[in-house]
Amino acid sequence: MEKTNGEKNNEQQLWSMIDKLTEQLQGVIHLSNAQKLKHKQLRNQIYDIVATCFLNELHSGRNVMAE
């Protein structure tokens, strides 16, 4: 049984929609990975700041938390 023009057109539209959805999902994955990387970078920067403050307190002999 051969497909009619309408069926072929519907199939082409379906595959086109699937391709567009696939591209959108790839974009979401890319953004999610970028967000995870940024979160990790920010977390590491906070750790660095806390460590620097702690080392500064040790060096100066001050306890800022007690003040």
- Is the pTM of the predicted complex or chain greater than 0.75? no
Concatenating the DSSP letter of every residue in 23-59 gives: HHHHHHHHHHHHHHHHHHHHHHHHHHHHHHHHHHHHH
1 — pLDDT class (breaks 50, 70, 90): confident
pLDDT digits (tens, 9 = 90+) for 12-40: 999 999 999 999 999 999 999 999 999 99
Q: How far apart are CA 65 and CA 58, in angstroms?
A: 12
Q: How far apart are CA 8 and CA 2, in angstroms?
A: 10
Query: What are the sequence ranges of the domains in the chain?
Result: 5-66
Q: How far apart are CA 67 and CA 62, in angstroms?
A: 9
Instruction: Please write down the long-range contacts of 17-26, taking CB distance under 8 Å and 24 or more positions apart.
Output: none
